[in-house]
């Protein structure tokens, strides 16, 4: 059976679901194909910027998130070197710099706003055929092979199918790092402060979360395996050695999981009747928590461009979208990748340079404010949140 709609979204994770929600209620017809039949448990706690919160409020998803811990201060430092800087919500003129929310909570809040005809669970997309007229996608759904034609196919599948799409090339860089994530508690309260500490093995982040912290500890795969096999007491000791005593002792830890880290980005991010958004377009290192925030800015821009288009999926519409996203997207990729290259080594002149950069930033409130606002709202080129 074949039907033709305006927008077909492949992948109903937070980014694909947010696009469908932002188009819902407009004259644009939209269907989402989500391979999973029910949401998988995902241990990720995500730092959403204040800009993302405003966007989620606008599409009425934030109202469905009941467990969000505000980040009012961000403390950035490097292990084994001088220099640190502190960013605050007050200085940036916002109520909070961001909020820590679980992946399942954001996802649920987005999907619950969509009706079951729009969001097809258990629909796994396979072949994508792009022609001058339309995009056609084959998918398996309820034991049947089905096909949908759309004026615009949007890939929001997290990057799984991109390499099979003609005309799109995928660049990638293995970081040789894993992120260990889980919940920890410390002797001292978090006071709504997030910590980003750069170490030669990789950055370590502690995000305020409920009455403790959500930990993102990046290290080599070998060390990660070793850390994941430690008993709780030994784990807490090792974490204390690595992070230091700023928060007193680490007193408790929940179950930990490991994620291998890679940078992947597609070029170009649009093709005939096709746009890539979220992790399908760019999968970043989690340092500074940019991935979903960037993906939601893709959504905010694309939904606006689609709703204002004379012809959905045309070359003009897609060129307009790609142009509006170019600078923010490339800066996000370059910023996170450079942080890892610059901070993940022990060369002493570099350590000194990093210390000076952090110390100078600490002495320049206008620069700090400019920087915080770029992190919260991205680089605006005629768009967005
Ligand atoms: C350890 C870690 C910490 C992070 N911390 C942060 C943070 O603090 N802040 C932040 O902004 N970002 C963070 N990120 C990044 C963030 O998790 C991602 O950017 C975000 O999840 C991307 O969402 P997405 O919807 O594009 O992709 P995904 O979340 O990967 O969703 C893709 C969806 O597509 C579906 N799918 C796949 N293939 C198919 C198919 N063939 N057919 C149909 N459906 C399909 C999948 O089932 C899935 O539901 C972090 C990432 C990691 C690994």
Q: 357, exposed or middle or buried, with CB in 10 Å at 0-12, 13-18, 19+? A: middle
Domains of the chain plus CATH, in order, are 2-171+261-377 (3.50.50.60)
The tens digit of pLDDT for each residue in 249-281 reads 999 999 999 999 999 999 999 999 999 999 999
Ligand 1 pocket test, candidate residues 19, 47, 279, most atoms within 8 A of CB: 279
- For the cut 90, the answer to whether the pLDDT of residue 166 exceeds it is no
Q: Which atom of ligand 1 is nearest to the CA of 290?
A: 11
- Which protein residue's CA is at the shortest distance from atom 52 of ligand 1? 286
Taking the centre of ligand 1 as the mean of its atom positions, its distance from the CA of residue 355, in whole angstroms, is 33
Q: Which atom of ligand 1 is nearest to the CA of 47?
A: 8
Taking the centre of ligand 1 as the mean of its atom positions, its distance from the CA of residue 158, in whole angstroms, is 5
Rounded-to-integer distance, Cα 73 and Cα 233, Å: 29
Ligand 1 pocket test, candidate residues 10, 46, 102, 145, most atoms within 8 A of CB: 46
- For the cut 90, the answer to whether the pLDDT of residue 338 exceeds it is no
Taking the centre of ligand 1 as the mean of its atom positions, its distance from the CA of residue 44, in whole angstroms, is 10
Using CA atoms of 332, 207, 114, 149 in order, give the dihedral in degrees to the nearest 10. 30
What is the pLDDT at residue 347? 75
- Which protein residue's CA is at the shortest distance from atom 51 of ligand 1? 286
What is the pLDDT at residue 71? 98
Ligand 1 pocket test, candidate residues 106, 158, 206, 280, most atoms within 8 A of CB: 158
Taking the centre of ligand 1 as the mean of its atom positions, its distance from the CA of residue 17, in whole angstroms, is 11
Residues with CB under 6 A from ligand 1: 10-16, 33-36, 44, 46-47, 124-125, 156-158, 160-161, 179, 181, 216, 259, 278-279, 286, 289-293, 295
Q: For the chain, give the number of residues.
A: 385
Closest CA to 322 of 362, 262, 282: 282
What is the pLDDT at residue 3? 67
Beta strands in the chain (DSSP E): 2-10, 30-34, 45-49, 69-71, 73-78, 84-88, 98-102, 119-121, 123-130, 135-141, 144-155, 169-186, 193-198, 204-209, 212-219, 250-253, 257-267, 270-271, 274-276, 282-283
- Which protein residue's CA is at the shortest distance from atom 4 of ligand 1? 286
What is the pLDDT at residue 381? 58
pTM (two decimals): 0.94
What is the pLDDT at residue 107? 97
- Among 137-151, 158-172, 336-350, the minimum mean pLDDT is found in 336-350
Q: What does the mean pLDDT of the chain come to?
A: 93
Q: Which residue has the higher pLDDT, 241 or 385?
A: 241
Ligand 1 pocket test, candidate residues 22, 32, 33, 35, most atoms within 8 A of CB: 35
Taking the centre of ligand 1 as the mean of its atom positions, its distance from the CA of residue 104, in whole angstroms, is 11
- Among 105-119, 248-262, 303-317, 354-368, the minimum mean pLDDT is found in 354-368
Taking the centre of ligand 1 as the mean of its atom positions, its distance from the CA of residue 38, in whole angstroms, is 15
Confidence of residue 1 (pLDDT cuts 50, 70, 90): very low
Residue 235 CB contacts under 8 Å (≥ 6 apart), including other chains: 227, 253, 256
pLDDT > 90: what percent of the chain? 80
- Which protein residue's CA is at the shortest distance from atom 21 of ligand 1? 292
Q: DSSP assignment, residue 288?
A: T
Taking the centre of ligand 1 as the mean of its atom positions, its distance from the CA of residue 82, in whole angstroms, is 35
Closest CA to 329 of 365, 376, 374, 378: 378
The tens digit of pLDDT for each residue in 296-334 reads 999 999 999 999 999 999 999 999 999 999 999 999 999
What is the pLDDT at residue 2? 58
What average pLDDT score do residues 143-154 get? 97
Taking the centre of ligand 1 as the mean of its atom positions, its distance from the CA of residue 361, in whole angstroms, is 32
The tens digit of pLDDT for each residue in 34-87 reads 999 988 789 999 999 999 999 999 999 999 999 999 999 999 998 877 778 999
Distances (CA, A) of 100 to 31, 192, 229, 312, 377: 29, 10, 27, 35, 16
Confidence of residue 351 (pLDDT cuts 50, 70, 90): confident
Rounded-to-integer distance, Cα 377 and Cα 372, Å: 9
Q: Which atom of ligand 1 is nearest to the CA of 15?
A: 25
What is the pLDDT at residue 373? 87
- Among 76-80, 215-219, 340-344, 371-375, the minimum mean pLDDT is found in 340-344
Confidence of residue 157 (pLDDT cuts 50, 70, 90): very high
- Which protein residue's CA is at the shortest distance from atom 9 of ligand 1? 289
Q: Which two tokens stand for residue 263?
A: 């940078």
């Amino acid at each position: 059976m074949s039907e033709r709609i305006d927008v077909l979204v492949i992948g109903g994770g937070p980014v694909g679901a947010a696009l469908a929600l932002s188009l819902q209620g407009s004259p644009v017809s939209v269907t989402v194909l989500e391979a999973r039949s029910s949401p998988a448990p995902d241990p990720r706690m995500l730092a959403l910027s204040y800009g993302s919160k405003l966007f989620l409020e606008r599409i009425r998803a934030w109202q469905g998130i009941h467990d969000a811990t505000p980040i009012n201060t961000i403390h950035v430092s490097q292990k084994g070197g001088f220099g640190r800087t502190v960013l605050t919500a007050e200085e940036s003129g916002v109520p909070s710099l961001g909020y820590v929310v679980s992946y399942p909570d954001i996802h649920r809040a987005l999907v619950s706003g969509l009706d079951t005809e729009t969001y097809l669970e258990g629909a796994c997309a396979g072949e994508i055929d792009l022609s001058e007229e339309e995009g056609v996608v084959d998918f398996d759904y309820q034991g049947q092979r089905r096909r949908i034609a759309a004026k615009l196919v949007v890939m929001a599948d997290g990057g799984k199918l991109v390499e099979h799409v003609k005309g799109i090339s995928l660049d990638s860089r293995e970081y040789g790092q894993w992120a260990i994530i889980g919940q920890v508690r410390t002797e001292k309260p978090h006071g709504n402060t997030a910590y980003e500490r750069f170490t030669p093995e990789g950055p370590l982040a502690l995000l305020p979360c409920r009455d403790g912290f959500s930990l993102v500890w990046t290290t080599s795969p070998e060390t990660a395996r070793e850390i994941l096999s430690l008993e709780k007491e030994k784990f807490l000791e090792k974490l204390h050695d690595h992070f230091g005593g700023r928060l007193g002792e680490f007193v408790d830890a929940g179950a930990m999981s490991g994620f291998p880290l890679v940078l992947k980005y597609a070029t170009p991010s649009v093709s005939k009747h096709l746009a890539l958004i979220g992790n399908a377009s760019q999968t970043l290192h989690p340092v500074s928590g940019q991935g979903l925030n960037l993906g939601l800015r893709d959504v905010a821009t694309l939904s606006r461009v689609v709703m204002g288009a004379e012809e959905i999926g045309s070359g003009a519409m897609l060129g307009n979208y790609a142009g509006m996203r170019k600078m923010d997207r490339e800066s996000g990729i370059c910023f996170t990748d450079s942080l890892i290259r610059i901070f993940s080594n022990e060369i002493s002149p570099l350590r000194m340079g990093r210390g000076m950069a952090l110390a100078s930033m600490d002495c320049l409130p206008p620069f700090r404010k400019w920087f915080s606002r770029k992190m919260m709202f991205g680089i605006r080129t005629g768009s967005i949140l």
